[in-house]
Amino acid sequence: MSVCDKIKFNSDGLVPAIIQDKASGRVLMMAWMNRASLEATIATGKTHFWSRSRQKFWMKGESSGHIQTVKDIAFDCDGDTLLIQVEQIGAACHEGYRSCFFRSVTDGGAGDVITEPQLQTPGDIYGKK
């Protein structure tokens, strides 16, 4: 049985995938996979996702060059969430931060603060429009 058969995709055929930098332990991003993108991720060793906003299969880094090389794929006790260890080239976040989780809550929920440096601007990454 393929491990894909153990994963419980939701009613939209998707499963959330948490992406973690294997070297630093930093959680980089969370994105969604359908079965085809999980199979492509396993087969190629590069992360592939399903974009809910664009309704499109995509490989991380296909536009930015910020490819993720897969080191481990784990799944949780319920089989409905993936945790993928990667080697990340450059910024994982489309806003140019290493991690998408670059803002933390402050002041008992009244505010927030940026917790890491912006490595590049979106213009640097994707080209100015």
Helix (H, G, I), strand (E, B) or coil at 125: helix
Please state the closest distance from residue 28 (CB atom) to a copy of itself, in A.
Answer: 10
Residues that bind a copy of itself (CB under 8 A): 2-4, 6, 16, 18, 20, 24-27, 29-30, 39, 42-43, 72-78, 81, 83, 93-95, 97, 100-105, 108-112, 115
Q: Quick one: 35 or 67, whose CB is closer to a copy of itself?
A: 35
Residue whose CB is less far from a copy of itself, 6 or 129: 6
Alpha helices in 11-101 (DSSP H): 35-44
Indicate the residue among 103 and 123 with the shorter CB distance to a copy of itself.
Answer: 103
Q: Which helix (H) or strand (E) holds 126?
A: helix 122-126
| Tokens of residue 104, six digits | 């933390």
State the DSSP H helix or E strand holding residue 111, giving kind and residue range, or none if neither.
Answer: strand 111-114
Closest contact distance (angstroms) between CB of 1 and a copy of itself is: 8
The whole-angstrom separation of Cα 56 and Cα 35 is 13
Cβ(32)–Cβ(84) under 8 Å? Answer: no
- Smallest distance, a copy of itself to C-beta of residue 46, A: 14
Taking the complex as a whole, the smallest distance from the CB of residue 48 to a copy of itself amounts, in Å, to 13
Q: Which of 35, 36, 57, 37 is nearest to 47 (CA)?
A: 37
Q: Which is nearer to a copy of itself, 39 or 46 (CB)?
A: 39
